[in-house]
A = this chain, B = another copy of it.
Amino acid sequence: MKQNIYDNNEFFQKYQALRARENNYNRLLEQPNFQALVPDLMERNVLDIGCGSGDFAAFCLSKGASNVKGIDISQNMITAAEEKYSHARLQFEQVAFEDAEVIEGSIDFISSSLAFHYFADFDALIKKISTALCTNGTLLFSMEHPIVTANKEMDSWICDTQGNYLYYALDNYHEEGYRTQTWLVDGVVMYHRTLSTIINTLVINGLQIEKILEPIPTLEATRKLPSIAKEIRRPSFLIIRAKKLPNYI
């Protein structure tokens, strides 16, 4: 079953409040690193999977893409995106990627920011992406780091009695599958995959690894949000850029 937690109104309101904060992990850490890996988009055809309220899709448009389509399973998100951005070369559609129609070899750049950990079938996801990409097309995605999703508790920092972070408690790394977590509301489902599963799934589907980032906060980010310094001790995110190989069938 495809999860559509962003159409849970309590979740959505809390999520929008979190994202509206000037200093959050997305703005300070994930997006700067993600955007730094965006290839040349001039005259390119772009698909953004899990587009949320459309900020990254609009960013791609600003980089000269000829067409950008943002899709999201959540009608709340698509409505927010359509209210925020309107442009002839930018479309939004409420659809799960699993159900979206894609034309083989039609897309130059597929992006997805912090959505892949919601997909139940990672192999099917990557296979469909590889089919949709043209030769030498690029996939760029970020997801929760396997070190984080491994645990059956979302936040596994162990603190002393004064609230100082002692270390991060890691467990269950090779137990792939869903994790039911409390993040804003109870019962948010994410899927844990090991690093080797993630990389090998890309490779067997003809996607060549070009770059991996485990983002580190800048000093400026740490000044704005001191708690983000923990990322140096244990990364929250994994960002991967991969290229569709020629001659891959």
A214 to chain B, nearest CB (A): 5
Any chain B CB within 8 A of the CB of A224? no
In the complex, 8 of the A-B residue pairs with CB atoms within 8 angstroms, ordered by the A residue number, are A169-B169, A169-B170, A174-B214, A195-B195, A196-B212, A196-B213, A199-B212, A203-B211
C-alpha gap A196/B235 in the complex (Å): 11
For the complex of A and B, the 5 pairs showing the least CB-CB separation, nearest first, are A167-B169, A196-B212, A167-B171, A174-B232, A168-B170
Instruction: Known contacts A168-B169, A168-B170, A169-B168; decide if A175 and B212 are in contact (CB<8 Å).
Output: no
Q: Are A194 and B214 within 8 A (Cβ)? A: yes
CA of A211 to CA of B169 in the docked complex: distance in angstroms? 28
List which A76-119 residues lie within 8 A (CB) of chain B.
none
Query: Is A173 an interface residue, CB under 8 A from the partner?
Result: yes
- Which residue of the partner chain, among B172, B195, B208, B231, contacts A233 with CB atoms under 8 Å? B172
Beyond the given A168-B170, A174-B233, could you list 18 further A-B residue pairs with CB under 8 A, ordered by the A residue number?
A169-B169, A169-B170, A170-B234, A171-B233, A173-B214, A173-B232, A173-B234, A174-B214, A175-B232, A195-B212, A195-B214, A196-B213, A196-B214, A199-B212, A200-B211, A200-B212, A208-B208, A208-B209
Secondary structure type dominating chain A contacts: mixed
Contact B208 A173 (CB under 8 A): no
Contact partners of A208 in chain B: CB under 8 A: 208-209
The answer for the CA separation of A233 and B167 in the assembled complex, in Å, is 17
| Contact yes or no, A231 B174, CB < 8 A | yes
Given contacts A209-B203, A210-B203, contact A169 B158 (CB under 8 A): yes
Q: Does any Cβ of B come within 8 Å of A140's Cβ?
A: no
Residue A47 is within 8 A (CB to CB) of chain B in the complex: no
User: Nearest-CB distance from A164 to chain B (Å)?
Assistant: 12
Q: Which residue of B is nearest A168, CB measured? A: B170
| B195 pairs with A170, CB closer than 8 A | no
Using Cβ atoms and an 8 Å threshold, which residues of chain B touch A147?
Answer: 147, 170, 173
Bitwise interface map of A from 184 to 199 toward B, beta carbon under 8 Å scored 1, else 0: 0000000000111001
